[in-house]
Structure 1
Amino acid sequence: MNSASEYTCEYVEFWNETLAEKFDRFQDILMNGLSYHSQVPLGRLEVAPGSRILDVGCGWGDTAIALARKTGSEGEVLGMDCVDRFLEDARRRADVAGLTNVRFVGADVERHPFDPEYDLCFSRFGMMFFEHPVVAMRNVHKALKPGGELMFIVWRDIEDNPWLGLPKQVVLDFLPPPGEDARTCGPGPFSMSNPDVVRQQLEIAGFEDIHFERNDGPVEVGDSVENAMRFQLALGPAGEVFREAGEEAERQRPQIEEALRNALSPYEQDGKIVMGSSSWTITARRPAG
C-alpha cells in the first residue's frame, strides 16, 4: 500500500517537511490539551460491536485506539494519515495498548482507492485541510458501506476560538498578514466553520441526513505561559503569520514573545493556560439504497 511520501500534493509535502516536527514538539497540547472536542462526541458515539471503522487524519492514533476499543476484538479500525512521522507514534501507542484490531497506513485520503467496506468514518480536525474538500468527501463516501455514517469534528469561526484568534491579533500588531503565495497546511482550520457551505459540500458528495452539533469548552494550550507562547509562534494562525514574515519576524521576536506572554497570562489556571474554544461535530450518512 502506498506511503504518504509517494504523493506529491503540495499540502502533503508541507505537512511532512515543515509541520510534522512542530506538531510532534507540541503533541501534548494538540492530542491532550484539545481532547475535549473528541472526548465529548466519542463519548456519545454508539458503535456496534464488530464494526469496521476508518479514522481520517488519525495523527498519533489516540482516536483510532478509542474507536478500536469501542468496536471490540471482532471489529477493525484503519487509521490513515498523510504524515508518516505521526503514524510511527500511533503504531507504538497501539502496541503498548495491546490492541490487534487497529492498523495505520500512510496515505492521502483524498486520493486513496477505497472499497465500500466501512460502517463508520471518523475524523477529528482532519477534514479541514483537504486540498479539494468535495473530492475528499466523495472518496470517503466511496469508503463507506451503503447506510454507513460519517462523523467529523471541525473548528467553528476564529471569533469563537480565542485560543487561536487572540494570539493571531497580537502577532498582527507587529507583522503583516501572510501573502497569497504563503505555504499552508491546506485550506485551514476554519475552512469548514460555515454550516451552509459544508452542508452543500456534503450533499454534492452524495451524503444525506446531515447534522451539526456545536461543542463549546475549555482547551489547555500550554503547561505554562512560556510553553503556550512558543506553541502559538510555531503553529496555528499566529504561527503562520510569524513563519511567513521570515527575517522581520525574527528581528521582532523579543517584543512579540513578550506581547504574547502578556496576552496569555490572564488565562493561567493552576499553572496551565486554559482558553475558550468551539467546534462543530458534523454527522452525515451514505444513502442505504
Structure 2
Amino acid sequence: MTLAADPQTEFVAFWNDTLAAKFERYRDILMNGLSHHSEVWLNEVQIAAGTRIVDVGCGWGDTALALAHKTGPTGHVLGIDCVDQFLRKGRADAVAQGLRNVCFAAADVQTYPFDASFDLCFSRFGMMFFENPVAALRNVRGALKPGGDLVFIVWRDIAENPWVGLPKAVVQKFLPPPGDDARTCGPGPFSMANPEVVRSQLQIAGYEDIRFNATDGPVIVGDSIRNAIDFQLAIGPAGEVFREADALAEKRRDEIEAALCDALAPYLQDGHVVMPSASWRISARKPA
C-alpha cells in the first residue's frame, strides 16, 4: 500500500523538500544512534501473536519491522510516514527479512482514512511534529479498536537533552534566533515535553488511562567530532538557527565549528560522540 503525501500541507512539504535529504544523510544517527529510547520498550513489551499495529511517523521502518517480527505472520503492521523517501528503506528491508505482514503508506497521519481495526498504535519521536496534535491524536484514536492501546515516545525538555541543548546554546552565541517567518517541520521536537499539556491533549482527543514513564540513556550523535558537528548544523535546534541565519552563518562557520568542537570533545568515547538524553514513553487507551 502506498499513498502520496499531501503536497499542499506546509509541514509535509517542508519535510519532503528540505529535511528529507538531510535526514537521509544522517540516517545512522537518527535511526540507530537515538534508538535507546525505543529499544527499552521493544525489549520489555509483550505483543500477542496476531496483533494489528500501526506505527506512526515510522521513518525508515525499523520499529515497524521489529513490531512485525513480534506480532508474527498472523498479525499485521502498517507503517505511516509523510516522507516516501524514508519508506523505501523499510519496504526493501521487509523484503530482505522475508516479512509479509508489514506494509508502508506515505501519508499525513492527521488525515489518513483509518478504519478502527488496530489493537495498538506506536510512535517513536513522530508525534511531536503534528501541526495539530489533538487532530492527529483523534485520527489515530479512530484507527484503534475499542480498548486499543496507544504508546508513543517523545523527548522531554531540551534542558534534559544536552545532545541538542548544548549545541543550540553554542550556536546562539554567534547567531540570532530564527525569525517568526522561519519554515519549520511542525511544533518541534520538544512540543510534547510537558506532561500536563499532553495529558490534556489526549483527554480532548478521547483517550483514558494516560500514563507517563521517563527513560534516560545515552545517544550516539556522531562517529567522530566532525560527523557530530555536521549533524548538529544540519538538523535539530542548532541546525534551525544555523539554517535561518543563512549568509551570516556561513560567514561565521569556522568559529562556530571550533566552539562546537570544544563543547563536544568531552563526550567522545571510543571514537563516538555519546551524550545524555531523556524521553517520555506515554501510554493511553481508547475507551472500550
**TM-score above 0.5, yes or no:** yes
Letter in 2 for 1:89: K
Alignment of 1:201-280 (within 5 A): 201-280=201-280
Check whether the contact 2:5–2:108 (CA below 8 A) recurs between aligned residues.
no
Aligned to 1:85: 85
Matched, 1:53 2:79: no
Residues in 2 aligned to 1:15 and 1:3: alpha-carbon distance in whole angstroms: 16
Aligned to 2:165: 165
Check whether the contact 2:210–2:283 (CA below 8 A) recurs between aligned residues.
yes
Matched, 1:285 2:278: no
> 5+ residue gaps in structure 1?
none
Check whether the contact 2:58–2:79 (CA below 8 A) recurs between aligned residues.
yes
Aligned residues: percent identity?
66
Letter in 1 for 2:203: E
Residues in 1 aligned to 2:37 and 2:285: alpha-carbon distance in whole angstroms: 21
Residue 116 of structure 1 aligns to a residue whose secondary structure is: coil
Residues in 1 aligned to 2:91 and 2:85: alpha-carbon distance in whole angstroms: 10
Aligned to 1:127: 127
Residues in 1 aligned to 2:97 and 2:3: alpha-carbon distance in whole angstroms: 24
Alignment of 1:165-204 (within 5 A): 165-204=165-204
Residues in 2 aligned to 1:209 and 1:16: alpha-carbon distance in whole angstroms: 35
Tell me how many residue pairs correspond in the alignment. Answer: 288
Check whether the contact 1:57–1:80 (CA below 8 A) recurs between aligned residues.
yes
Residues in 2 aligned to 1:102 and 1:113: alpha-carbon distance in whole angstroms: 18
Aligned to 2:118: 118
> 5+ residue gaps in structure 2?
none
Letter in 2 for 1:48: A
Residues in 2 aligned to 1:3 and 1:71: alpha-carbon distance in whole angstroms: 24
Regions of 4+ moved over 4 Å: none
Alpha-carbon RMSD: 0.9
Letter in 1 for 2:224: S
Residues in 2 aligned to 1:227 and 1:199: alpha-carbon distance in whole angstroms: 37
Instruction: State the TM-score, normalizing by the size of structure 2.
Output: 0.99
Give, in angstroms, the shift of residue 233 of structure 1.
0.2
1:52-109 C-alpha deviation (Å, 9 max, x unpaired): 0000000000000000011000000000000010011111111111111001010000
1:226-250 C-alpha deviation (Å, 9 max, x unpaired): 0000000000000000000011101
Instruction: State the TM-score, normalizing by the size of structure 1.
Output: 0.98
Alignment of 1:3-18 (within 5 A): 3-18=3-18
Give, in angstroms, the shift of residue 2 of structure 1.
6.7
Q: Structure 1 residues 179, 231: closer, same or farther in 2, change over 3 A?
A: same
Residues in 2 aligned to 1:69 and 1:5: alpha-carbon distance in whole angstroms: 27
Check whether the contact 1:4–1:12 (CA below 8 A) recurs between aligned residues.
no
